[in-house]
Amino acid sequence: MRTLTFGAALAAACLTAAAAPAAAPTIAASGAWARPTPPGATTGAVYLTLTNHGKAPDALISATSPAAAKVEFHSMSMAGGIMRMAPIAGPQAIAPGASLKFGPGGSHVMLIGLKGPLKAGAHVRLVLTFAKAGAVTVDAPVRADAPAADPMAGMKM
């Protein structure tokens, strides 16, 4: 009887331990939005903030979207008066309590090979992959009232 009770307690403890890691999402996505694209556009930009609410460092590795053939993370920089963008190489670390921000004029999530225009009012799904948190799905609304300062338009100058 004593052995049986101990076995049951052990089984309960194992179940609790197994359930714990999945219960607490550590990466939160906030303020996600996408810029509408004109007909025929092959690329689009998504902006969002990713915050690490966990106690360990994590890193953003890659992303996919059903709306595009490929998703890249780009940084922006001014060179000789021309705004340039370049893919961000390697995993992007996010320390505990820190945020990774993608916003107009700065870095952005670039959709390459759009399967159709991003229409205001629709949503773009992103599946972000993190080193520890795994896959995080975000549905970014396509904003009709997108800010006027358009880094994508600036790049064409």
Determine contact, residues 84/12, Cβ cutoff 8 Å. Answer: no
Q: Does 110 bind Cu ion (CB under 5 A)?
A: yes
Cα dihedral angle (17, 18, 19, 25), rounded to 10 degrees?
100
- Nearer to Cu ion by C-beta: 110 or 114? 110
Return the DSSP state at 7: H
Return the DSSP state at 1: -
Beta-strand ranges (E) seen in the chain are: 27-34, 43-52, 58-64, 68-79, 82-87, 92-94, 99-102, 108-114, 123-130, 134-141
x/- site string to Cu ion, residues 115 to 134, per CB under 5 A? --------------------
Q: Does 111 bind Cu ion (CB under 5 A)?
A: no
Shortest Å, Cβ 110 to Cu ion: 4
Total site size for Cu ion, rule CB under 5 A: 3
Q: Could you say which residues in the range 3-32 bind Cu ion, by CB under 5 A?
A: none
Closest CA to 36 of 145, 151, 142, 125: 142
- Nearer to Cu ion by C-beta: 35 or 74? 74
Q: Which residue has the tokens 């998504």?
A: 46
Q: Does 35 bind Cu ion (CB under 5 A)?
A: no
Q: Which residue has the tokens 């179940």?
A: 15
- Nearer to Cu ion by C-beta: 126 or 133? 126
Q: Does 85 bind Cu ion (CB under 5 A)?
A: yes
Kindly indicate which of the ranges 20-28, 54-62, 70-78, 121-129 contains the residues binding Cu ion, using the contact rule CB under 5 A.
70-78
Shortest Å, Cβ 19 to Cu ion: 40
Q: Does 74 bind Cu ion (CB under 5 A)?
A: yes
- Interface residues with Cu ion (CB under 5 A) are 74, 85, 110
